A and B are shown apart, each in its own frame.
Chain A
Amino acid sequence: MKGGLGMKHLLYGAVLLVLAGVAPGASPGTSPPLGLPALEVPAGNPQTPEKIALGEKLFNDKRFSSTGTVACANCHVTDKAFTDSPLKTSEGIKKLTGTRNAPTVVNSAYFTKVFWDGRSPDLEDQALHPFVNPVEMGLKNHDPILKIVRKDPEYTRAFQAVFGKSGNAITMKEVTQAIASFERTKVSGNSPFDVYYFGGVQTALTDAQKRGFDLFVNKGRCVSCHRVEQNTALFTDNRFHNVGVGINDIQPDVPKLTTEFLKAKATLAEVDRKVLADKKTSELGRFAVTKTLDDIGSFKTPTLRNIAVTAPYMHDGSLATLKEVIVHYNNGGVTKEGNPVNDFLSGGIRPLLLSDAEVDDLVAFMEALTSPEFAKAPAPAKADGR
C-alpha cells in the first residue's frame, strides 16, 4: 500500500515536470503551484508536450465553427484568465449569445464535473459540445472538424506523432483528448493568499484581506462550498447548489418547465441545446441533467481563484461586481434585500448579517486570490459592462 502511494507521487512529479516545461501557468519544479493539490491526469489520456501543443492549436482554431470565426479561445481568452470577461453570457457565431457566463479554463483540471450544471463528466467530453451548439460554434455535427484534421498537413503530422493515427482513424476522441491535455496545463496558484496561508508570509495580505479571510471561514460561511483544505485550496466543493440566482426570476414557470423535463426524457445533447437556447430552461440548472427535484436551480460552485479578474459573476453573469455577489449572499439568497427567496433554496444559504465594512473585507479577500500571471488582466467590468 505504502509503496503504491509513493509510486503515485513519483508519477505526479513526472507529469508536473513535463507541465512546467510547457505551461506558463505552472510553476517550475516538481511540485504543483503553491496552494494547489497534485494534478490527477486520467490514465487513458496521459500528458505529453506534443499532445499539449496539438491541443493548444485545436483550442485556437476558428475553422471549427460554422462561420469560421469562433474558436474555443474566443470565450476562453488567455489574457482574461481564460474567460470572456466582461461579457455577461458568451458570444458564439453571428454574435449569438447563450444563457451562461463562460467559466474559466484555469484549474478546470481539478473539476470533477464540467459545465455550470455538470452535464459533462470530464474535460474530454466537455470539449465535444460547444462545436455543435447552435449558439456557440454552430456546426451541424463534428464532421467538418474531422475533415480538417485528417487533411491539414500540420494536423496530420501532429496526430501521427501524438496518437500514431491518420485518416479515418482520427476521431473526436483524439481531438478532445488533445484539447483536454492542453486545458490541464492551465493550473494556477501562487496568489497572495497562497503565499500568506500556505507559504506562511504574513505580509502577503493586507489587514482588510486577513479580516476578510476570517469572515470567509467563519461568519460568511463561504468556505463550506468554496473549500480551503489544510495544504491546498480549490475554492470549490465540486457540488451543485441553489443559491437564488436565476431561479428567483422564474418561480411561476417552474411547474411547467419541470413537468416537461420529467415527461420528456431529453438526452444530454438535447439538454445542451435547450439550456443554452432558452433562458428560463437554463435556470433549472442541474435539474435539467439529473431530473432530480433536489437539483432545481442548482449550479456548480465555481472556483474563486482569479475571481477579481473574471467579472461579471454567477452562472448567468447577472452580478457585475464582487460586492454585489456578497450582498446577494448577505441577503440570504436574494439580490434585492427583502425579496422572497425561492422555494428550492439550498439549505446552506441564509442571511449572514454582515456589516458594510465586513462586505468590503470579503471583497478585499477575494482580490487576494489572483495568480501573478493573471494579475495584470483587464479591470473588472462595471455595472454597465456586458
Chain B
Amino acid sequence: MTRTTRRDFLKTTGTVAAMSALPLSMVELAFADTSKNFTFAYISDAHIQHISGTKFVRNWDRGLIRAVAETNLLVPKPEFVVFGGDLAQLGTKEELDHGGEMLSKLNYKLYTVMGEHDYYYDLGEYWSKLYGPHHYSWDHKGVHFVVLNSVITFDDWTFNRWPSAAQRMLEMAGLDNPNGSPFMVGEKQREWLKADLAKVAKDTPLVVFSHSPLQKIYKGWNFWTDDAEEVQAILRPYDKVNVVYGHVHQIQYNQIENMSFNSVMATAWPWPYPQTYAQAKQALPKLTIPMNRADPFFERDATGWQFIDVNTGRVALKYNLYNNTNRTVAFNPKTGQPEDSMFQDPARMIDPQVHY
C-alpha cells in the first residue's frame, strides 16, 4: 500500500530521472496524501579552505560551486536546501564568507547545520551572524524538522586548554588526535529539544539534522556523539524518526528501534570507512592521509549527494555519485531497517580494492 503510493508519486513526477547525478542531497518526502509531497536538497561538508589573501583551495571551491549550480537546475524545484555543516575548514571569517558567497547563489531557502570546522575557531560567533541560531526547528507540510548543534564538547577542553582559538580549531580538525575531544549535543540543547518536541504529536514524522551522527560509530574520528543515547531517548517516543547527518563523507545507514540513521556525502573529499568500533584493542594502522579516492585523478570522485524519499515517515536516500554507480539506501518495511537496494545481498557486494 505505502510502496505503491511512493511508486505512483515517482511515476507522476519523474523525479528520479531528473535528479540522478548531483553532488548534493535531494530529499523527497512522499505521503499517502500526495498534496503533502515535497522535495528538498542537501549539500554538506564543503570545507572551504583559505590559503592567503584571496586564494582558497581550488578543489574544495569547485565541489561546492558545482553542487550549488546543479541544485539550481533541479526539475522539479526543491522547496528548500539544507547545508549539513563544515562549510569552512578552519572556521575563519574568510572561509565562512567565501563559502557563504557560493551558497548565496542558491535559488532556494537555505537551512544550515553547524559543523565542528565552523565552530571551534570562534565558537560559532561569525557563523551565527551569517546563519542565525545554532539549533532550531520548523514545520513543513506535516513534517517536523529539527536542527541540532551536535559538535559541542566539554567546557574545560573548549575554554581552558588552548593558547589560541586557532590552536583549538586545529586540534579539533584532526582525526585520531589524542588531544581531541568527543562531540555532544549537551544538556542545555537536550532540554530545548524536549521542550520543542513537547508540542509535536507522536505520529508526526520527525527529521533531525545534525553534523555528527547521533549514534556511536568510531570515536577516533568523532564519527560519534557522546550523549547519543540521551538524545535518542528524547526521540524514541515518536513513531517515525529520521536522523540525517554529514561529517563522515561516506554512505552509512543504521536502524536503532524506530530511528533510521542516514549519512550524506561531502562535496569536498571522501573519508575511508573506519574500522568498525570495537571494544577490543586493535592493531590497525591509523589513518594519516587526508583522502582516499577510488580514482585520484577525478577530484570529484567519491564525493556526491543523495535525494531522499520519505514514504509515510521513513527515508529512502538516493545517492548520486560522480563517476560512480548511483546507490539507493531505503527503509525496508519487511525487515524494519535501511537497506541498499543493489548491494545489500552479500553475493552482490563489490570486494574492496587491494592493489594500488
Interface positions of A (Cβ within 8 A of B):
221, 224, 254-255, 258-259, 262-263, 265, 291-296, 341, 343-348, 350
- CB contacts (< 8 Å) of A345 on chain B: these are 62, 66
Beyond A291-B20, A344-B70, A347-B299, 14 additional contacts (C-beta under 8 Å) are A224-B297, A254-B69, A254-B73, A255-B72, A255-B73, A258-B75, A259-B75, A293-B21, A293-B73, A346-B300, A347-B62, A347-B322, A348-B297, A350-B58
Instruction: Determine whether the beta carbon of B58 is less than 8 Å from that of A344.
Output: no
Name the distance in Å between A255's Cβ and chain B's nearest Cβ: 6
Q: Mark B1-43, 1 if CB is under 8 A from A, else 0.
A: 0000000000000100111111000000000000000000000
**A347 and chain B: residue at smallest CB distance:** B300
- CB contacts (< 8 Å) of A296 on chain B: these are 70, 73
**B73 and chain A: residue at smallest CB distance:** A258
- CB contacts (< 8 Å) of A294 on chain B: these are 21-22, 70, 320, 322
Instruction: Determine whether the beta carbon of B21 is less than 8 Å from that of A292.
Output: yes
Q: Mark B219-231, 1 if CB is under 8 A from A, else 0.
A: 0000000000000
- Indicate whether B143 reaches chain A with its CB closer than 8 angstroms: no
Interface residues of B in 269-324 (CB under 8 A from A): 297-301, 320, 322-323
- CB contacts (< 8 Å) of B72 on chain A: these are 255
**A343 and chain B: residue at smallest CB distance:** B69
Name the distance in Å between B294's Cβ and chain A's nearest Cβ: 12
In the bound complex, CA of A298 to CA of B323 (Å): 12
Instruction: Determine whether the beta carbon of A343 is less than 8 Å from that of B297.
Output: no
In the bound complex, CA of A12 to CA of B58 (Å): 47
Among A262, A291, A347, chain B packs the most CB atoms within 10 A around the CB of A347
- B contact patch SS: loop
- CB contacts (< 8 Å) of B73 on chain A: these are 254-255, 258-259, 262, 293, 296
- CB contacts (< 8 Å) of A348 on chain B: these are 297-299
- Indicate whether B175 reaches chain A with its CB closer than 8 angstroms: no
Interface residues of B in 34-76 (CB under 8 A from A): 58-59, 62, 65-66, 68-70, 72-73, 75
Interface positions of B (Cβ within 8 A of A):
14, 17-22, 58-59, 62, 65-66, 68-70, 72-73, 75, 297-301, 320, 322-323
- CB contacts (< 8 Å) of A255 on chain B: these are 72-73
**A262 and chain B: residue at smallest CB distance:** B75
Q: A258-B73, A344-B70 are in contact. Are A292 and B297 (CB under 8 A)?
A: no
Name the distance in Å between A28's Cβ and chain B's nearest Cβ: 37
Instruction: Determine whether the beta carbon of B298 is less than 8 Å from that of A346.
Output: yes
Instruction: Determine whether the beta carbon of B299 is less than 8 Å from that of A292.
Output: no
Among A258, A294, A348, chain B packs the most CB atoms within 10 A around the CB of A294
Name the distance in Å between B245's Cβ and chain A's nearest Cβ: 24
Interface CB pairs A-B, < 8 A, 30:
A254-B69, A255-B72, A255-B73, A258-B73, A258-B75, A262-B17, A262-B73, A263-B75, A293-B21, A294-B21, A294-B22, A294-B70, A294-B320, A294-B322, A296-B73, A343-B65, A343-B66, A343-B68, A343-B69, A344-B69, A345-B62, A345-B66, A346-B298, A346-B300, A347-B299, A347-B300, A347-B301, A348-B299, A350-B59, A350-B299
Instruction: Determine whether the beta carbon of B20 is less than 8 Å from that of A292.
Output: yes
Instruction: Determine whether the beta carbon of B21 is less than 8 Å from that of A262.
Output: no
- CB contacts (< 8 Å) of A254 on chain B: these are 69, 73
Among B22, B58, B66, chain A packs the most CB atoms within 10 A around the CB of B66
In the bound complex, CA of A295 to CA of B66 (Å): 12
Top 3 A-B pairs, shortest CB-CB distance: A347-B300, A294-B21, A343-B69
Instruction: Determine whether the beta carbon of A262 is less than 8 Å from that of B18.
Output: yes
Residue in B14, B70, B300, B301 whose CB lies within 8 Å of A293: B70
- CB contacts (< 8 Å) of A350 on chain B: these are 58-59, 299
Name the distance in Å between A294's Cβ and chain B's nearest Cβ: 3
**A260 and chain B: residue at smallest CB distance:** B75
- CB contacts (< 8 Å) of B20 on chain A: these are 291-292
In the bound complex, CA of A344 to CA of B65 (Å): 8
Q: A343-B69, A344-B69 are in contact. Are A291 and B297 (CB under 8 A)?
A: no
- CB contacts (< 8 Å) of B299 on chain A: these are 347-348, 350
In the bound complex, CA of A345 to CA of B323 (Å): 13
In the bound complex, CA of A348 to CA of B20 (Å): 21
- CB contacts (< 8 Å) of B322 on chain A: these are 294, 347
- CB contacts (< 8 Å) of A347 on chain B: these are 62, 298-301, 322-323
**B20 and chain A: residue at smallest CB distance:** A292
**A293 and chain B: residue at smallest CB distance:** B70
- CB contacts (< 8 Å) of A293 on chain B: these are 19, 21-22, 70, 73
Name the distance in Å between B54's Cβ and chain A's nearest Cβ: 14
